[in-house]
Amino acid sequence: MSALNSKPVRYLLQVINYTVFMALIWYFSTSPSVRLIGENESLLTIAFAHAGELREPCRKLSQQELMKLPPNMRKPEDCPRERSPITVEARLDGELVYSETMQPPGLFNDGSVDIYFSKKISAGKHRLEIRMDDSVRNPGFDYVFERELSIEPAHILLIEFDPLQGFILI
């Protein structure tokens, strides 16, 4: 015990303790590493924001109804704000990989819906089909995207949507 209490021994023990502490910090600050994607894998991502069609069509107001309104509020059409839910389906090589129906957010259910879907897929050639129904007034899917694709390992296959162009491959 007395030998352990001598200053040189104590300093040596401190150096050992600090070394162990720093080794612990160094190791866990970078290790063990995490493999996020397999060597022959890539990522399919569908990401976009879209507002569904209005649930009810705009209605033309009658002359009588217009006259009841204050002069500054006499808009000829009454458009209910509530929008349709959005249904998106994605099939990869014929297999359904994503299917979701989302209600529009907001107090009046009039907001746009954010869609984000991501899935690891094998690299190489695939057939991708995406369909979206954004109107309760038009039965069936309003937008359809079908494409034969080839994707390289570790790449992100990103699909976005534009109301004018439909689904876009980025």
Partner 1 sequence: MLVNPVKRVYLALESWFNISFGTEWNPLYHLGTLSFFLFWVILITGIYLFIPFHGSIDGAHASVEYITHQQWYAGGVMRSLHRYASDAVVVTILLHMFKEFASGRYRGFRWFSWVTGVPNLWVVVTLGITGYWLVWDEMAQYIAIGSARLVDALPLLPGAMTRNFVAGEMTDRFFILIEFLHLLGQPLVLAFMLWLHVKRLSDVKINPPRGLAVGTLLALLALSLYKPALSHAPADLTKMPEVIHLDWFYLNIYPLLDIWTEGQVWIFTLGITWLLMMLPWLPPKKDGPKAVVDLAHCNGCELCFDDCPFDAITVQARTDGMKFDKEVVVNPELCAACGICAGSCPSSNPFRSRNEELKTGIDMPQLPVDKMRSQTREAIAALSGETKILVYGCEHGLNVSRLEDDETKGVRLICSGMLPPTLVEYALKNGADGVMVTGCRHNDCYYRFGNRWVKARFAGERKPILRGRADRNRIRVHGAAETDKNEVERDLDEFRAELAKLKQAEATAAENDGAGGNS
Q: Report CA dihedral (26, 29, 31, 37) to the nearest 10 degrees.
A: -150
Tracing tokens 């359809």 back to the chain, one arrives at 144
Nearer to partner 1, 33 or 63 (CB): 33
Nearer to partner 1, 49 or 69 (CB): 49
Q: How far apart are CA 150 and CA 154, in angstroms?
A: 12
Nearer to partner 1, 13 or 58 (CB): 13
**26 touches partner 1 (CB under 8 A):** yes
**Tally of CA atoms within 13 A in the half-sphere of 92 that contains its CB:** 20
Shortest CA distance to 48 belongs to which of 149, 127, 132?
Answer: 132
Which 3 state secondary structure label does DSSP give 54? strand
C-beta of 92: minimal distance to partner 1 in Å? Answer: 17
**168 touches partner 1 (CB under 8 A):** no
C-beta of 120: minimal distance to partner 1 in Å? Answer: 8
The site for partner 1, by CB under 8 A, has a size of 44
Tracing tokens 């069609």 back to the chain, one arrives at 53
Q: Report CA dihedral (124, 114, 132, 168) to the nearest 10 degrees.
A: -50
**16 touches partner 1 (CB under 8 A):** yes
Question: Which one of residues 156, 162, 166, 169 is an interface residue with partner 1 (CB under 8 A)?
Answer: 156
**163 touches partner 1 (CB under 8 A):** no
**Tally of CA atoms within 13 A in the half-sphere of 33 that contains its CB:** 3
Question: Which one of residues 6, 40, 74, 105 is an interface residue with partner 1 (CB under 8 A)?
Answer: 105
Per CB under 8 A, residues contacting partner 1 are 4, 10, 13-14, 16-19, 21-22, 24-26, 28-37, 39, 41-43, 45, 47-49, 105-106, 111, 114-116, 118, 154-156, 158, 160, 170
